Amino acid sequence: MAGRNIFRTLVGKADFILETYAPGYLDKLELSYSSLKVLNPKLIMVSITPFGQTGPYKDRKGADIVHMAEGGLMYITGDPDRPPLRMGGNQSHFLAGIHAAAGALIAHYYRMLTGQGQHVDISIQEAVLRFGYSILPWIAGRGISETRRGNVVLRGNAYQRDVWSCKDGYVLWRFMGGIWGVQDWTALVKWIDEKGKAGILKEVDWATIDMSKLSQAEVDSWNNIVQDFFNDHTKDEIQNEALKRGLKILKVYSPKDVFESSHLQSRGYWTHIEHPELNRSITYPAFIFLSNETSCAVNRRAPLIGEHNDQIYKKDIGLSLLEAEKLKKDCII
């Protein structure tokens, strides 16, 4: 009861509540949105759950691999001759966070117009499904269930790759038709021919290429020459020379490349945040965006559990030192 009363007091001063409990859990504690908005009609509550607040799956538990599977994204990830793959890094949780932030900001704008708060319901499954933007159009438009394609993209009648291996990593180059394709292929074939490896590529009239009529065998024969050429060079050699020739070829950055990027360093993208509890500093991205009107900089680490108890419980809601110590002893705060 004491903890609930403290929470209700905090709600009266809050703009947002972000919670990830199972649907119905806060109702049992008499802390549902419907009860809290009586205390603060401007309150915005954002609830993030595996399958949302309603529907037959609402009580199911979830994890990143579950969300990826039931959001459809896993089915189209990986090579066609192997089982589906989960994307690394708990991407479903990041996607849900983005949706939650967007929902909270939209609700905040509505509150600015009307003075009323609202309950934002975020389903992690639905966040993943929206990220798989190509899944539903294939079904709805062509009646085809998209499958795993690996490192290739279907353009016209042939699968074509975007990512190519090279001597020390990978580069990105997209096989294109039209005006861009003429420019890229012409410049690339000239470069390859300077090394004496262009072969049949010199015989192709790139200005007349119709992407919809290319056969897979034809595309593969060209790809083999390009891949052999890339294998003779490092990713920096390829990117630097491509820029000189007006080619749209970029290296795929490794984490080390990103961290050591002279461009990011010149923009002051990295900052060092002290962690006294670790007796060291840790490097963080310094900002989300740059603006001439406002600052969006990271200037401190995330707080430890209970680090700001004095500010919140004593200064903000007026608990005495004895009251706070007793509540802490009783594991309420």
Asked whether the predicted pLDDT for residue 235 surpasses 80, the reply is yes
Residue 290 counted as domain residue: no
**Per-residue model confidence (pLDDT) at position 28:** 94
Which of the pair, 157 or 213, is modelled with greater confidence?
213
**Per-residue model confidence (pLDDT) at position 222:** 93
Cβ neighbours around 95 below 10 Å, total? 22
**Per-residue model confidence (pLDDT) at position 209:** 83
Which of the pair, 320 or 194, is modelled with greater confidence?
194
Give the mean pLDDT of the chain: 91
pLDDT in tens, 82-105: 999 998 889 999 999 999 999 999
**Per-residue model confidence (pLDDT) at position 311:** 83
Residue 257 counted as domain residue: no
pLDDT band at 139 (very low <50, low <70, confident <90, very high): confident
38 and 133 part of one domain: yes
Q: What is the CATH number of the domain that holds 167?
A: 3.30.1540
Asked whether the predicted pLDDT for residue 5 surpasses 90, the reply is no
126 and 212 part of one domain: no
199 and 240 part of one domain: yes
Residue 186 counted as domain residue: yes
Q: What is the CATH number of the domain that holds 129?
A: 3.40.50.10540
Residue 227 and residue 328: Cα distance in Å, rounded? 64
Which residues form the domain of 200?
A: 153-252
pLDDT band at 42 (very low <50, low <70, confident <90, very high): very high
Asked whether the predicted pLDDT for residue 70 surpasses 80, the reply is yes
187 and 119 part of one domain: no
188 and 67 part of one domain: no
**Per-residue model confidence (pLDDT) at position 318:** 82
Asked whether the predicted pLDDT for residue 155 surpasses 80, the reply is no
111 in Cβ contact with 117 (< 8 Å): yes
44 in Cβ contact with 36 (< 8 Å): no
Q: Of all residues in the chain, what percent carry a pLDDT higher than 90?
A: 63
**Per-residue model confidence (pLDDT) at position 154:** 72
Residue 54 counted as domain residue: yes
43 and 118 part of one domain: yes
**Per-residue model confidence (pLDDT) at position 224:** 95
Alpha helical stretches, state H, 115-211: 124-131, 135-137, 178-194
162 and 108 part of one domain: no
Asked whether the predicted pLDDT for residue 179 surpasses 80, the reply is no
**Per-residue model confidence (pLDDT) at position 285:** 94
In this structure, what are the phi and psi dihedrals at residue 37, rounded to the nearest 5 degrees? -70, -15
106, 137, 168 - which closes a domain: 137
18 and 106 part of one domain: yes
**Per-residue model confidence (pLDDT) at position 33:** 97
Asked whether the predicted pLDDT for residue 271 surpasses 80, the reply is yes
Asked whether the predicted pLDDT for residue 79 surpasses 90, the reply is no
**Per-residue model confidence (pLDDT) at position 1:** 75
Tell me how many degrees the CA angle 127-42-123 measures, rounded to the nearest 5: 15
pLDDT in tens, 184-232: 999 999 999 999 999 999 999 888 888 788 889 999 999 999 999 999 9
Asked whether the predicted pLDDT for residue 146 surpasses 80, the reply is no
What is the number of structural domains in the chain?
Answer: 2
Cβ neighbours around 106 below 10 Å, total? 13
Name the strands in the sheet holding 118-123, side by side, starting at the edge strand that comes first in the sequence.
Answer: 16-19, 44-49, 118-123
